[in-house]
Structure 1
């Protein structure tokens, strides 16, 4: 980043300081998400925003080696005391937080001290993969489903409501909370497609409208932190864990994507099955083939594999189908492809970058999707299971040349090191203890 760019950033930030002050903002939270899926933050008073935009906030590189419990892995390329980088707030995404009076928020791009993108900047990785596909005329739009469970202010999980799954009674009981949450998201320019009570006790879900990949990941972070803030203001504790209670239904973080080329939608009007264009089949065949490896990115915690079990609509089979909610990849006819095996312990930037890399590899490989599965994949003896443990997923990830090449050697190795660190953290721990120690971390 040269002197001209720094001055441009300083001028832009200076132009919004007065407006932020008029709106009662006293500080700006500048966030990034680490490899374990935890949103980390550094904040500045509003008057310091121009300096932060131009010079960046100093941050240790060691965050790339953090585990979900804040312990640090001694990895091959991260985890030591050396190194520093700069956090530059993206002013294009700066937003006043309706759920946290006095605060604004901006996601950070992580740069090396010399100015270029830090090699393990997950947000930058998603941007690079988006641009690589755009260079070939492809455009991806993405959105997340966000699920969470509301509990009382206790360390164990006591749901704040036991009203029926998907029941209006649950929404009525938490009507004020729900209205405040939706109002806050609307004020923050988050386009919510739908909101409803989910299956597990105290569980809710909302879906966001499709956006460019980096923007979709930003929105996923903003939604989660807004849910957290509004829940706290109502005296409730929120869990995004894939397994809130051992034996129960956990929270997913399903990813929806769509594909077009040169302005032409590729999920409808094509010559393939269900109207898919050949490019769409090739792209999503690349994703499907790499789902075992992608689980190390999108289902990145030990608790993820307590959720990925058959007959829970978690998508534990490496199969696809039309409107099939038990297959890992569900085609929503003419609209999107939903990947159901992912959860909210994932870093959304890293996840989107990896999915785009998998799709890009599929385009290079050519070919199409296998036969779609009809009915419960568990009833099909040839339907392959996804990894049943984080260790299996990490092995598949490290063996996938396309994903590791897209990420870069040090980046991919550090992600694997962090995953193995979590495996070691929970070695010999039973399911109840895994759920307990993961419950409130994400």
Structure 2
């Protein structure tokens, strides 16, 4: 394969082959030529965070053994509720996920892993296995692949700049020196690109907050579409890199849903599309089509239950009540930002060539046509507390319902923002989300996608969070609320 000169992934450049074709032998060769002396096996735990198992490479045979066989780990320390007397599980590397670790004392080869039980079967409650089963069930029934990507919002927290102070609620796509953390954002982009995470862009977000001698400045990274199994991994890696880079600069990064009663919350909007035979199945020449509307209906029909995966802490519900653009009603619309699902602008019809010609008089170059078509639907439910693997798995389950239910088009028409005033609302607490998931659990358990014990754990965690939240902490301001925000400061 002739490697593109702009290819950012050093192992892809070295091997001259796409990451999807990596083998253990390829990675041994790469480690030898790049003089890597450590390999880290990475996996996503029950708390949704990235975990690490580090090996110092002793020989070529040792490296191959680690990359092929993986290792045994204590599942009871990784997944809450696992019995300690039967907790050994295996982690096996997925070679296509390999990347060079941009951090640490020495250069290392990092590989994401999948979990398997003592019989060698996929571990039913491991995050990557749940989203894989959900995607496979959708493909088997509809012949379509659900692709997704997230809009990852976060705040950088540090000392206030006395020379170019931030202006509150005026951070959207701001440039330096008024933009704060721009260099950090650039470093994050560079690392993620080199790790194989597909990126669209990054920019400053609206939220600028001044609190005494410190400033909280909001940023966003938008990724590119990938099958939901990969999209979930991309978001976990992105959060890890943001935190590492921020810490290296002496700043704190937070994905907390609510950081202040006076500022914008932190969302995690998920874009998605359905792809069949390499083509985007949700759009045609007239815009969003019946398949797209059925997808929207699926999301809306399961939205209350999906909040159990996308809004996992009490401050998630502060974001809903405080935010000007945070959704509350279960509706959808095209281009407007008030509904739970939005169909964003996607350069339809003959609009783009005219704009390009006007901006570049005399240019005769053809206008590129991306494939698949870039149209997506934006599900605006999630926030920084989301368990991204479970949320994307749940979205695949909801998509399957929307595509197979005869009433989906009728529901989509009913729930347009311009057609319905009295609409169902999203849950207002962790307890309500738990109740909604309990009511819909048969949908998620169908075909073994979500194990019952996993749903039990999610529901129990939500109810515990609700029970341990003082009622005064949900008031608009005050010390109790500040303590609640800080309790859920580092989530996801």
TM-score by length of 2: 0.76
Matched with 1:278 is 290
1:244 corresponds to: 259
Between the aligned partners of 1:421 and 1:239, the Cα distance in structure 2 is: 23
2:205 to 186, 198, 210: 198
In 2, distance between residues paired with 1:338 and 1:314? 13
Matched residues, number: 411
**Against the structure 1 CA distance between its residues 180 and 117, is the aligned structure 2 distance closer, same or farther, given a 3 Å change threshold?**
same
TM-score by length of 1: 0.84
Residue 82 of structure 1 deviates from its aligned partner by 4.2
- Alignment-derived partner of residue 399 in structure 1: 439
Work out the CA distance in 2 between the residues paired with 1:277 and 1:341. Answer: 22
| Residue 93 (str. 1) matches residue 143 (str. 2) | no
Question: Cα gap change, 1:345/1:173 in structure 2, threshold over 3 Å: closer, same or farther?
Answer: closer
Aligned positions of 1:318-397 closer than 5 A: 318-333=330-345, 335-367=375-407, 368=409, 369-371=412-414, 373-374=416-417, 381-397=421-437
How far the C-alpha of 1:269 sits from its partner, in A, is: 1.4
Mapped partners of 2:138, 2:310: distance in 1 = 21
1:325 Cα deviation after fit: 1.5
Question: Structure 1 241/104 Cα, relative in aligned 2: closer, same or farther at 3 Å?
Answer: farther
Q: Which residue of 2 aligns with 1:182?
A: 189
Per mean C-alpha deviation after superposition, the further-off stretch among 117-126 and 298-307 is 298-307
Alignment correspondent of 1:56: 70
What pairs up with 1:60-99 in 2 under 5 angstroms? 60-63=74-77, 65-66=79-80, 78=82, 82-99=86-103
The 3 A distance-change label for structure 1 pair 79 and 385 is farther
Of 135, 152, 155, which aligns to 2:158? Answer: 152
1:116-265 aligned at under 5 Å gives the runs 116-135=121-140, 136-152=142-158, 162-163=166-167, 164-166=170-172, 167-169=174-176, 173-201=180-208, 202-265=217-280
TM-fit CA distance, 1:143 = 0.7
The structure-2 alpha-carbon separation of the partners of 1:357 and 1:46, relative to structure 1 and needing over 3 Å to count, comes to farther
> Is the 1:162–1:170 Cα contact (8 Å) retained in structure 2?
no
Task: Tell which deviates more after alignment, 287-296 or 307-316.
Answer: 307-316
- What SS does the aligned partner of 2:268 have? coil
Larger radius of gyration: 2
The answer to whether 1:301 aligns with 2:305 is: no
In 2, Cα distance between equivalents of 1:421 and 1:61: 22
For structure 1, which segment, 402-411 or 16-25, has the greater mean C-alpha deviation from structure 2 after superposition? 16-25
Large movers: runs of 4+ above 6 Å? none
Worse-superposed segment, 132-141 or 233-242:
132-141
Root mean square deviation of aligned Cα? 2.8
Say if 1:318 and 1:328, in contact at 8 Å, map to a contact too. yes
- CA 1:438/1:310 → structure 2, altered by over 3 Å: closer, same or farther? closer
